[in-house]
């Protein structure tokens, strides 16, 4: 190889290892863990951001609310005519560039949810560093109040909210909400989180999943407690296990955990009346037996399966009744109708689906399989007492 050829090869190698011309140093960024959006009484928007204080992560205490010291995170907020305007105000007093690529939680304040989500979510979706997979929740009260809570098991309330949503609630991402707000035949819903006292005299605050917020278009129409809308769990793409206490009488009860669940929906139109045939397929395990029943006996298992089936049917009916009362469709019944009757949907129901909801009828049934009764068939304390 000639000297000239070697020179050009060397030059090409040098160009390939020239470094990152547009690099961003970690020390120059304020990495946002969670963000909150509120609507002020005067119509202004409040944006709040939760940022870890890297230099204090080794400390045992935490906090926020615009202070530092030995705190493990910092919460700052500002008010503006738009969310972007409020973001600019925060940036103007922060020595590091606000970086949103790692945020996993977006908290919506209750007032903002009442007045409409669309404007606020539009600006969030346009952030170039935004994550469509970030979870959305609604705060009972102001969003900033959840960001300033210091949980005991996590360094940051944003991380505590994310884990709680995945484990106990029904996860809803920014992408999910965007699709629900833009798809005829389904309405949006959000998990509701609240800051609650975890110790006597209010010494500490924890975050708790307290309910579901139902929307019509982009405005909230109802906030329901978890038990009032538990039937919504059976209609999700990914089933999250949960448990219930099943009473047999005034004194005896069993506790079951539902480990698997799937629901089939089939709409039928007869003489202009829409009926949905709903079948839930459920797998459950016994995790507590406070009765005298011997679960090894077939008649007792049949009894439990029938009672579980009644309980599931009742929870689904409560959810459907609430949906019809509030004229909101978080399940997506309209989507199922559009799939089975596309012409009727386009011509008759698409533009007034929320008005049609109260007139729907339902046929609900469930098929329950008790897969496990534990390591004993009877309550062991009652066995010893009988002997």
**Alpha helices, DSSP H, located in 188-341:** 298-326, 333-340
- pLDDT bracket for residue 66 (50, 70, 90): very low
- What does the pLDDT look like over 173-230, one tens digit per residue? 999 999 999 999 999 999 999 988 876 665 678 899 999 999 999 999 999 988 888 8
Residue 13 has pLDDT above 80, yes or no: no
Q: Is the whole-model pTM more than 0.75?
A: yes
Q: 14-30 burial, b if ≥16 CB within 10 A, otherwise e?
A: eeeeeeeeeeeeeeeeb
- What CA–CA distance (Å, rounded) separates 89 from 98? 11
Task: Give the model's pLDDT for residue 14.
Answer: 64
47-51, 190-194, 202-206, 236-240: segment of lowest average pLDDT: 202-206
What's the whole-number mean pLDDT along residues 239-256?
88
Task: Give the model's pLDDT for residue 22.
Answer: 58
What is the percent of the chain with per-residue pLDDT over 90, rounded to a whole number? 54
- pLDDT bracket for residue 150 (50, 70, 90): confident
**How far is residue 323 CA from its own chain's centroid?**
18
Task: Give the model's pLDDT for residue 96.
Answer: 87
Give the list of residues 6+ apart from residue 191 with CB closer than 8 angstroms, or none: 137, 138, 165, 169, 170, 171, 172, 209, 211, 212, 213
Cβ atoms of 278 and 365 within 8 Å: the answer is yes
Residue 75 has pLDDT above 70, yes or no: yes
What's the whole-number mean pLDDT along residues 293-304?
87
- What CA–CA distance (Å, rounded) separates 282 from 68? 49
Q: Residue 208: beta bridge partners?
A: 194
Residue 59 has pLDDT above 60, yes or no: no
Task: Give the model's pLDDT for residue 19.
Answer: 58
Residue 48 has pLDDT above 60, yes or no: yes
Cβ atoms of 104 and 132 within 8 Å: the answer is no
What's the whole-number mean pLDDT along residues 128-142?
86
**Alpha helices, DSSP H, located in the chain:** 3-16, 83-92, 110-115, 118-125, 143-147, 157-168, 174-182, 298-326, 333-340, 342-344, 353-356, 380-386
- pLDDT bracket for residue 46 (50, 70, 90): very high
Angle subtended at Cα 154 by Cα 230 and Cα 244, rounded to the nearest 5 degrees: 20
16-25, 49-58, 229-238, 290-299: segment of lowest average pLDDT: 16-25
What's the whole-number mean pLDDT along residues 311-339?
95
- What CA–CA distance (Å, rounded) separates 55 from 62? 12
What's the whole-number mean pLDDT along residues 64-76?
63
**How far is residue 383 CA from its own chain's centroid?**
43
Cα–Cα nearest to 371, from 304, 273, 294, 278: 304
- pLDDT bracket for residue 276 (50, 70, 90): very high
**How far is residue 269 CA from its own chain's centroid?**
33
- What CA–CA distance (Å, rounded) separates 284 from 244? 10
Cα torsion through 297, 300, 301, 302, rounded to 10? 120
62-71, 188-197, 220-229, 251-260: segment of lowest average pLDDT: 62-71
Residue 77 has pLDDT above 90, yes or no: yes
- What CA–CA distance (Å, rounded) separates 169 from 154? 18
């Amino acid at each position: 190889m000639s000297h000239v050829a070697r020179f050009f090869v060397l030059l090409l190698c040098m160009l390939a290892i020239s470094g990152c011309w547009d690099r961003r140093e970690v020390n120059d960024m304020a990495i946002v863990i969670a963000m909150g959006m509120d609507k002020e009484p005067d119509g202004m928007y409040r944006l709040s951001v939760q940022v870890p204080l890297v230099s204090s992560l080794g400390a045992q205490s935490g906090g926020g609310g615009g202070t530092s010291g030995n705190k493990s995170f910092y919460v700052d907020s500002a008010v503006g005519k738009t969310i972007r305007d409020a973001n600019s105000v925060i940036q103007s007093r922060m020595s590091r560039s606000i970086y949103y690529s790692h945020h996993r939680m977006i908290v919506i304040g209750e007032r903002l949810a009442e007045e409409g989500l669309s404007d606020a979510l539009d600006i969030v979706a346009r952030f170039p560093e935004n994550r469509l997979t970030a979870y959305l929740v609604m705060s009972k009260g102001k969003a900033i109040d959840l960001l300033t809570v210091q949980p005991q098991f996590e360094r940051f309330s944003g991380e505590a909210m994310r884990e709680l949503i995945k484990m106990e609630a029904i996860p809803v991402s920014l992408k999910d909400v965007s699709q629900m707000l833009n798809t005829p035949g389904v309405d949006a819903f959000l998990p509701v989180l609240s800051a609650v006292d975890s110790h006597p005299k209010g010494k500490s605050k924890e975050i708790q999943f307290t309910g579901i917020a139902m929307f019509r278009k982009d405005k909230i129409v109802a906030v329901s407690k978890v038990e009032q809308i538990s039937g919504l769990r059976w209609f999700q793409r990914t089933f999250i296990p949960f448990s219930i206490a099943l009473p047999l009488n005034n004194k005896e009860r069993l506790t079951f955990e539902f480990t698997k669940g799937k629901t089939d929906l089939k709409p039928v139109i007869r003489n202009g009346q829409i009926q949905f045939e709903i079948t839930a397929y459920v797998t459950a395990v016994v995790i507590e037996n406070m009765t005298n029943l011997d679960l090894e006996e077939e008649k007792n298992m049949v009894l439990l399966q029938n009672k579980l089936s009644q309980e599931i049917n009742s929870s689904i009916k409560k959810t459907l009744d609430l949906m019809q009362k509030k004229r909101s469709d978080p399940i997506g019944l309209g989507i199922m109708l559009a799939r089975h009757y596309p012409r009727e949907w386009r011509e008759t129901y698409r533009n007034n689906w929320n008005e049609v909801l109260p007139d729907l009828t339902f046929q609900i049934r469930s098929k329950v399989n008790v897969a496990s009764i534990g390591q004993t068939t009877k309550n062991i304390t009652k066995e010893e007492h009988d002997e």
